[in-house]
Amino acid sequence: QLSDQQKMSESPLSQFRGVYLPPALHPLNKTLVKGGKWKDVDSAQEKRRSFLHDFCKKYNSRKKLRTHLVHLVSRIYVEDRHKVLYCEVPKAGCSNWKRVLMVLNGLAASAHNISHDDVHYGKHLRKLDSYDLKGIYTRLNTYTKIIFVRDPMERLVSAFRDKFEHPNNYYHPVFGKAIIKKYRRNANEEALKTGSGVKFKEFIQYLLDSHRPVGMDIHWEQVSKLCYPCLINYDFIGKFETLEEDANYFLQLVGAPAKLRFPKFKDRHSSDERTSAGVVRQYLKELSKEERQLTYDFYYLDYLMFNYTSP
């Protein structure tokens, strides 16, 4: 407990340095939810919330996390009208979530006519780190904070398929070239020049390499490092596996317009088979037993935090 004088002299930022968390688990405000059909979704939600809270209590009792507030919130999108903070986890429904936030914010009439480029490059939504410290602090304490997660291996394979199995003028020259150069023996000139055709095994070698030739990327970064679920007390934990019902229940919670529903469409490569457990198994076959174990270890915290069973 800080004295009043200490509180006055400390900025919100310094209070976030090295604190032991998680903070208290606040009850969800369910006053806007209509009808009894959400009972199962709500019960699953409460289980996830208390599971994560208990995990963080146990985990953080051993580990003091030191990080800056501004860095903590750099992946969080703000929707001021309905007081929502959404932490973006790529490959877990984030494109459609950003569409929904744009509709909630009054920037679009419907989620269905917002293009992929508009969602990702349009700069229509503000991130929490663009506010001053008071603005960040107030929103963290008063808005409904939401995160959507996905089985780590499915998310990883989905990211690989999206970025390396389709033409891409960023991931191939930036990541592909570096990966092929370091991990492919006798790579031909064409592959070295374009960076196209990275194999899943090569991608995993890059992921597990402590001396990666090129840095990490948000599409395969651990959720524990994107959204800091043990430092930021998320009010709502959605899962990609139950995306629609979780999302539509959440929209009820925050009083979204009655006609707004979470969009069902696949954002890109819509003809591809969705990345399912069966698809993941095919990719994991390309790895050695040791590589599979190390990949699981890499996402170990994500598996634990969100109660996913190991593959």
Does residue 62 fall inside a structural domain?
Answer: yes
- Cβ atoms within 10 Å, residue 81: 12
Bridge partners (DSSP) of residue 145 are 85
Edge-first strand listing for the sheet containing 84-87 = 126-127, 76-79, 84-87, 144-149, 236-239
Instruction: State how many domains the chain has.
Output: 1
Per the listing, tokens 């190991």 go with 310
Rounded Cα distance, 258 and 248, in Å: 10
The confidence score (pLDDT) of residue 116 equals 76
Does residue 185 fall inside a structural domain?
Answer: no
For residue 168, report the phi and psi dihedrals to the nearest 5 degrees.
-155, 120
Does residue 55 fall inside a structural domain?
Answer: yes
The confidence score (pLDDT) of residue 85 equals 97
Per-residue pLDDT of the chain (311 residues; tens, 9 = 90+): 444 444 444 444 444 444 444 566 788 888 888 878 899 999 999 999 999 999 998 887 555 556 678 889 999 999 999 999 999 999 999 999 999 999 999 888 888 888 777 887 777 899 999 999 999 999 999 999 999 999 999 999 999 999 999 999 999 999 999 999 999 999 999 999 999 999 999 999 999 999 999 999 999 999 999 999 988 999 999 999 999 999 999 999 999 998 999 988 766 666 678 899 999 999 999 999 999 999 999 999 999 999 999 88
Does residue 121 fall inside a structural domain?
Answer: yes
Rounded Cα distance, 259 and 112, in Å: 13
Does residue 217 fall inside a structural domain?
Answer: no
Measured CA to CA in angstroms, residue 60 lies from 27, 39, 139, 230, 260 at distances of 21, 31, 24, 8, 38
Does residue 188 fall inside a structural domain?
Answer: no
Does residue 33 fall inside a structural domain?
Answer: no
Does residue 239 fall inside a structural domain?
Answer: yes
The confidence score (pLDDT) of residue 209 equals 97
β 76-79/236-239 pair status: unpaired
State both tokens at 50. Answer: 């208390």
Domain that holds residue 89: 38-152+222-275+302-306
The confidence score (pLDDT) of residue 158 equals 96
- Provide long-range contacts, Cβ within 8 A and 24+ apart, for 202-211: 203/160, 203/164, 203/179, 204/287, 204/291, 204/295, 205/179, 205/291, 206/175, 206/178, 206/179, 206/182, 207/156, 207/295, 207/298, 208/291, 208/294, 208/295, 208/298, 209/182
